[in-house]
Structure 1
Amino acid sequence: MLNQHSAFDAMQSRLRVAAELYGLEETLFKVFIAPIRSIIVSCPVHMDDGGWEVFTGYRVQHNVARGPAKGGIRYDPRITLDEIKAGAAWNTWKTAVVDVPFGGGKGGVICDPTKMSDGELERLTRRYIAEIMDLLGPDRDVPGIDMGTNSQVMAWVLDTYTMHTRKTENAVVTGKPISLGGSLGRTEATGRGILISAREAMQRLGKPLAGATLAVQGFGNVGSQAARLLHEAGARMVAVSDLKGAIRNDRGIDTHALLKYHAEHKTVVGFKGAEPMDAKDLLAMAVDILVPAATENQITEDNAAKVRAKVVVEGANGPTSPEADPILLDNGVLVVPDILANVGGVTVSYFEWVQNRLGFYWREREVNERLVEYMTHAFQAVFATTDKFKTNPRIGAYILALDRVSQAMHARGFYA
């Protein structure tokens, strides 16, 4: 049974290790483990059957020393305030690692979007945004897409904000449809970031990406886009899983055919080009690259010793527990941590925000080229920090983030 480690506790424990190595003063550490603002709202929604439901929503701003809070809005029945707090903190560190001028935020509503009509989702979104309006703004807090939300939800966010402020401010939200100022390249941005991270990690090991074997846990937007892009770069995906099961083909899975099958059946299970396998065995496969792109706490002290991948590129937030980190390190597994590996999405969200504020939009090629530049620089900075402090890449990433955020806080001073 996997260890259900608290997401916020996991973030805090890693932060403590990084802070001690970096020499961060205790006062700032106390600041970093306490979000600057957390709100809980009740959202009454008129349902299609004529009744009413009251949904609970959250918005957390962790730190805004380097810029406005940035973080997605998640719709999921399992959301907790602890998870949202952790996500907001992770976004503080992610934006610092990739060096974009944002802080960390996160929001969510406890609901099951798969069981709600478009009308119900629209009414919920508008009520939720109305309740947190005072926090939002292109210079204050910029939400975006997360689990359970999409570009249509972001369009409702934009319109609700516009109706309340009586002005159109496209930069208040990212992940919008292209027709409303969304950025080209945003849909596959997180997956493309995983591709860049995997390529850099393989280079660090002196191995080519072309011909590398790949296993992907999770086939949502992040996992599926990463699988497609890695396949197109020459990697051979031999196993993939989703919530309903897993499949494998040691000769390689036709990723494009699988994407078409998944679009129709909403699962990878039953795909004719592979055989079924036990989903829990995927993490233990002897592959070059493992991409855990599902949920938190998938690699723990219970199964970390079984991981035989050369490189783990964390597509999900918090897929590896703190207790698993030293086990992977001792076994020679190179881990590209979540706060580096999956920052492609927030980076292109920054590009979208910039384009909105300029009123000047980039071609997709330009977006992708800039993403490669930012993420390659971030990868090199993380591993330079890792080598300098003689630690593992995860703690190296946290130290780099702490350095950038603490410098900003010292420069600004403390208002009292």
Structure 2
Amino acid sequence: MKSYNSFLVAQQQVEEAARILNLDKATTEFLKWPQREFKFTFPVRMDDGRFEIFHAYRVQYNYARGPAKGGIRFHPDETVDVVRALAAWMTWKTAVVDLPLGGAKGGVVCDPRHLSQKELENIARAYIRASADILGVDKDVPAPDVYTTPQTMAWMLDEFETIVRKHQPGVFTDKPLPIGGTEGRRDATSRGGVISVREACKFLNIEPKTFAIQGFGNAGQRAALLHEELLGGKLIAACDSRGGILNPDGINAKELVTHKLKTGTVLNFPGARHIPSDAVLELDVDVLYPAALENAISEKNAGLIKAKIICELANGPTTPEADLILYHRNIFVLPDILASAGGVTVSYFEMLQNSGGEMWEEATVHARLDKKISNAFQSFSDALREKGVHPRLAAMVVGVARVAEACKIRGWV
């Protein structure tokens, strides 16, 4: 498969949106690059007493609309270009959902699978000691990402508050509930995706009778449960890294989640037959949820996709070439900067609760998330009609236009 530099793809997307919007050269060039980026190097004491040196990043891509917002990931293959791209996509994502936030991303080059809990805590705290001066409720607000968790945020918050000597829970989101987390955060990304599918079905006049999930991790599991709960229909296939399962008559989502948590895989689920993981992408279903790795749908398999709607719960599951193939085949893609925006939306709600000393009920969080995603879909579908472009470009047009407007109002360009 063709290899992609994520940041070059992100820059290309900005150029395409800018061309549709007729943005001037200076504004376009400004939006193609991060406003600020940081490289950190710090030592961490390991369990055996030796010190190991770690490298880390934080990219604050754009903060014209508000404080930078984005996750911190621990990953062995982290690079500055990946972090730049993810920070860019967070910028457009917060703008598409019309949150008063910018975009950021951070990463530490490490392999959490080979580290103890104490070593992970030491790395988390060292990262904050290195970056504390650039973080804050009015500067930059991190959250968990790949291989980081609410517990990671708890360690980071504690280290930050130790440094600044005051209580500031809103500097980190997706925290554990006892220290300022919010109800409704665990399933927020998937819930936002299912809400966007609901709106797409209304837009396209499609009934979502069948669906399949590629990648049965946290997001995939919750999407399976929520699709059944909110939209009805039946799950007919799912896969993880070890393989896939299919039952055209339907798979009970709750029972499959229980099976996955118990056995570590979807394989050997009663009543379903095994299929290759990749085959899940090519099934004849109304809705397909790619919820695993980037570039899963490429020019090699885009011509074989049969789903009517693709809801991108993963970051970047569709390549630029595949976008065009799917568009010309009338397959409706809900791009990640809309479909997976539920997480950052509820993170924003967490910031609001922290700033006001409030604790909202879960039903309140769900209702406000529904309104935000529904409104975002309306702006997205308006751009689709007006610009006559493929769905990802339509979403980018919405996000880039809002950020460009803020930059111009401020007099930056």
Do the structures match in fold with TM over 0.5? yes
Supply the AA of the counterpart residue of 2:399: A
In the alignment, structure 1 segments of 5+ residues that lack a partner are none
* Structure 1 partner of 2:284: 286
TM-score by length of 1: 0.96
TM-superposed CA distance for 1:104, in Å, is 0.4
Question: Which of 228, 232, 254 is the equivalent residue of 1:231?
Answer: 228
Q: CA deviation at 1:4?
A: 2.5
Equivalences for residues 15-414 of structure 1 within 5 A: 15-209=14-208, 212-233=209-230, 234-414=232-412
Rounded to whole Å, the distance in 2 between the matches of 1:33 and 1:319 is: 21
Given that 1:3 and 1:302 are in contact with CA atoms closer than 8 Å, whether structure 2 keeps it comes out as: no
Distance across 1 between alignment mates of 2:268 and 2:86:
34
For residues 236 and 7 of structure 2, what CA distance do their matches in structure 1 show? Answer: 33
Corresponding letter in the other structure for 2:223: A
Closer, same or farther in 2 for the Cα pair 1:235/1:403, shift >3 Å?
Answer: same
> SS state of the match for residue 52, structure 2?
strand
Q: Deviations 1:84-109 (Å, cap 9, x if unpaired)?
A: 10110001000000000000000111
Alpha-carbon shift at residue 264 of structure 1 (Å): 2.3
Paired with 1:39 and 1:165, the residues of 2 have a C-alpha distance of: 20
| Larger mean Cα displacement after TM superposition, 261-270 or 192-201 | 261-270
Over the matched positions of the two proteins, sequence identity in percent amounts to 45
CA distance in 2, matches of 1:78, 1:135: 24
* AA partner of residue 63 (structure 2): V
TM-score, length-scaled by structure 2: 0.97
Residue type at the aligned position of 1:374: K
Which amino acid is the alignment partner of residue 89 of structure 2?
Answer: W
Letter in 2 for 1:132: S
- Structure 1 range deviating more: 352-361 or 236-245: 236-245
8 Å CA contact 1:69–1:140 kept in 2: the answer is: yes
Q: What is the CA deviation profile of residues 215-261 of structure 1, one whole-angstrom value per residue up to 9, with x for unaligned ones?
A: 11112221111111112231311111112222221111221112112
Deviation at 1:273, TM superposition (A): 4.0
Q: CA deviation at 1:362?
A: 0.8
Q: Do 1:8 and 1:85's aligned partners in 2 also have CA atoms closer than 8 Å?
A: yes
Secondary structure of 2:34 counterpart: coil
Q: CA deviation at 1:133?
A: 1.1
User: Which residue identity lines up with residue 412 of structure 1 in the other structure?
Assistant: R
- Give the secondary structure class of the aligned counterpart of 1:251: strand
Q: Which runs of 5+ in 2 are unaligned?
A: none
Decide whether the 8 Å contact of 1:214 with 1:235 is kept in 2. yes
Secondary structure of the residue aligned to 1:349 is helix
Shift of 1:396: 1.0
Contact 1:254/1:273 (<8 A) preserved: no
After superposition, what is the alpha-carbon deviation per residue over 1:143-163, rounded to whole angstroms, capped at 9, x for unaligned? 001111111011011101000
Q: Deviations over 1:39-97 (max 9, x none)?
A: 12123222223333222211101000000000011112222211110110001000000
Give the Cα–Cα distance (whole angstroms) in 1 for the partners of residues 210 and 287 of structure 2: 6
Q: How many residues align?
A: 412
C-alpha distance in structure 2 between counterparts of 1:298 and 1:133, whole Å: 36
SS of residue paired to 2:249: coil
Structure 2 Cα separation of the partners of residues 291 and 126 of structure 1: 35
- Give distance in 1, aligned partners of 2:361 and 2:409: 36
Shift of 1:400: 0.9
3-state SS in 2 of match to 1:132: helix
Matched-pair contact (CA < 8 Å) for 1:3–1:297: no
Letter in 2 for 1:13: Q
Instruction: Please list the CA deviations of residues 374-409 of structure 1 after superposition, one character each: whole Å capped at 9, or x if unmatched.
Output: 000000111101111111221111111111111111
**CA distance change for structure 1 residues 396 and 240 in 2, over 3 Å: closer, same or farther?**
same
